[in-house]
A = this chain, B = another copy of it.
Amino acid sequence: MQAEIITIGDEILIGQIVDTNSAFLGKEFNKIGISIYQITSVQDDKAHIIKALQEAESNADIIIITGGLGPTKDDITKHTICEYFNDTLVENKDVLAHVEHLFSKYISTPISDLNRQQALVPSKSKVLTNRFGTAPGMWLEKNGKVFVSLPGVPYEMKALITHEVIPALRHKFEFPYIRHKTMLTYGLGESAIANRIEAWEEALPDHIKLAYLPSLGRVRLRLSGKSRDKISLETDIEKQIASLLPQIEDIFIGFEENGSIETLIGNQLSKRGKTLSIAESCTGGKIAQSITSKAGASKYFKGSIVSYATETKVNVLGVSPTDVKSHSVVSKEVAEAMAKNVRKLFNTDYAISTTGNAGPLKGDSNAEVGTVWIAIATENEVYAEVFNFGNHRDKVITKATNKAFEMFQKEIFKK
């Protein structure tokens, strides 16, 4: 079973927005055994959209179209779909009532004719209710193929996929059994891992594939299999994993299917009834933001101090000015003091700290660009490690954040 994604909108092609929808769609569809054959992003242009629909129809069984459903003149998806299906637009009473409800609840301005047009849908379509916005999803069929048009706003599209589209696809089609198992590893590069596990990889059976998914200090190893025979596939995959794990024991931190490292850390802290605080310098709030992006973080995360200025490290975090002077602000001593002090200040069981220079220029320290000290404080000890994450600002910030999670994960799981 193959699907294609067509994302519509000049704003994608001129780079004003990043298409995050396709990744979400790819992930959700893969889970139920639908492969994405291709993702095509096209302009708000009738001829171009129709050409893309034709090509997708010839490649795939399911065609997901996102975007171009806004109330303004440049959004032409709905009219183009009507043309493709030889259909006309009709007003849908339920959608109109929903638009009126959203306006009365969240928006002070009165509903306009443009907003009212959101309730127009192709007469042949089945409406999928968009709880979070005014543009409805639309389901159409042609020669046994399914076309679904969805709004481009990510959280609206996501809710429609989860609550409407996937259940309807499961109802209509029978899917093969698919199994992914993704191992999170830290601390070794893609090619070093490939070298180490070469013999194992060469010996993989044909129906099981390995993919390397590297990103800044983390490499995810994903084993995938697809089959009609659920039990033998399960067994085969588990067998391969049992033979791989001893070879990557030192870098393996868990299975992604059990959650991201933020989730693994959060669950472990919750389970043990422990709490965490953070003092961030060069990472600028990214560690706190990653933790709080998970609902429920308030159970174990008490807070963070982003001590961006050196004087904040001294005045708010109580780092000793002598340490700053004699060791510089990017040093083991300052990192350890930050972790120790924030742990006390927030009264938590653990604390993490970062201090470094993300570049592009040297700051209040002579440390080379890319140098980052990361410290962990516990009830019993405080320790720090130094890294050089290269000379690109975004990379340094992200690598330091990833490394901090890696060190902390080791602390709470392995010790």
Known: A16-B27, A305-B305. A390 touches B292 (CB 8 A): no
Expressed in whole angstroms, the minimum distance between the Cβ of A24 and any Cβ of chain B is 6
Instruction: Give the residues from 9 to 37 in chain A that come closer than 8 angstroms, CB to CB, to chain B.
Output: 10-20, 22-30, 35-37
User: In the complex, which residue of chain B has the Cβ closest to the Cβ of A40?
Assistant: B40
Contacts of A194 in B (CB 8 A): 71-73, 114
* Size class of the A contact interface (CB-based, 8 Å): 35 or more
Q: Among A295-303, A378-386, A405-413, which stretch is in contact with chain B? A: A295-303
Instruction: Give the residues from 26 to 56 in chain A that come closer than 8 angstroms, CB to CB, to chain B.
Output: 26-30, 35-43, 48, 52
User: In the complex, which residue of chain B has the Cβ closest to the Cβ of A42?
Assistant: B38
Residues A213 and B71 in contact, CB atoms below 8 Å apart: no
Contacts of A189 in B (CB 8 A): 107, 109
Q: Among A89-97, A120-128, A214-222, A237-245, which stretch is in contact with chain B? A: A214-222
Residues B16 and A18 in contact, CB atoms below 8 Å apart: no
Q: Among A168-176, A246-254, A318-326, A355-363, which stretch is in contact with chain B? A: A355-363
Residues A285 and B295 in contact, CB atoms below 8 Å apart: no
User: A255 near B: Cβ within 8 Å?
Assistant: no
Q: Among A80-88, A227-235, A266-274, A306-314, which stretch is in contact with chain B? A: A306-314
Expressed in whole angstroms, the minimum distance between the Cβ of A242 and any Cβ of chain B is 22
In the complex, per-residue mask of A383-395: 1 if CB is within 8 Å of any chain B CB, else 0: 0000010111111
In the complex, per-residue mask of A200-211: 1 if CB is within 8 Å of any chain B CB, else 0: 010000000011
Contacts of A213 in B (CB 8 A): 11, 16-17
Expressed in whole angstroms, the minimum distance between the Cβ of A257 and any Cβ of chain B is 13
Residue pairs across A and B with Cβ atoms less than 8 A apart, 30 shown, are A12-B26, A15-B22, A15-B25, A15-B26, A16-B23, A18-B23, A38-B40, A39-B40, A40-B41, A71-B190, A71-B191, A74-B212, A114-B191, A114-B194, A114-B195, A132-B391, A155-B395, A278-B306, A284-B292, A285-B285, A285-B304, A286-B289, A288-B288, A288-B289, A288-B308, A293-B394, A295-B360, A302-B312, A315-B345, A315-B346
Contacts of A71 in B (CB 8 A): 190-191, 194
Quick one: which of A14, A42, A114, A391 has the most chain B CB within 10 A? A14
Residues A30 and B42 in contact, CB atoms below 8 Å apart: no
Our pick among B48, B115, B201, B288 for the contact of A285 (Cβ within 8 Å) is B288
Q: Mark A residues whose CB is within 8 Å of B.
A: 10-20, 22-30, 35-43, 48, 52, 70-74, 106-107, 109, 112, 114-115, 132, 154-155, 159, 188-192, 194-195, 201, 210-215, 220, 222, 277-278, 280, 284-289, 291-293, 295, 297-298, 301-309, 311-312, 315-316, 345-347, 358-361, 363-364, 388, 390-395, 397
Expressed in whole angstroms, the minimum distance between the Cβ of A103 and any Cβ of chain B is 10
Our pick among B23, B70, B347, B392 for the contact of A212 (Cβ within 8 Å) is B70
Known: A155-B392, A298-B308, A303-B308. A214 touches B70 (CB 8 A): yes
Q: What DSSP secondary structure best describes chain A's contact surface? A: mixed
Residues A22 and B41 in contact, CB atoms below 8 Å apart: yes
Bound complex: CA A388 to CA B104 (Å): 13
Expressed in whole angstroms, the minimum distance between the Cβ of A189 and any Cβ of chain B is 7
Expressed in whole angstroms, the minimum distance between the Cβ of A164 and any Cβ of chain B is 16
Bound complex: CA A159 to CA B70 (Å): 35
Contacts of A307 in B (CB 8 A): 303
Bound complex: CA A72 to CA B13 (Å): 30
Contacts of A42 in B (CB 8 A): 38
Expressed in whole angstroms, the minimum distance between the Cβ of A195 and any Cβ of chain B is 5
Contacts of A288 in B (CB 8 A): 284-285, 288-289, 306, 308
Contacts of A195 in B (CB 8 A): 112, 114
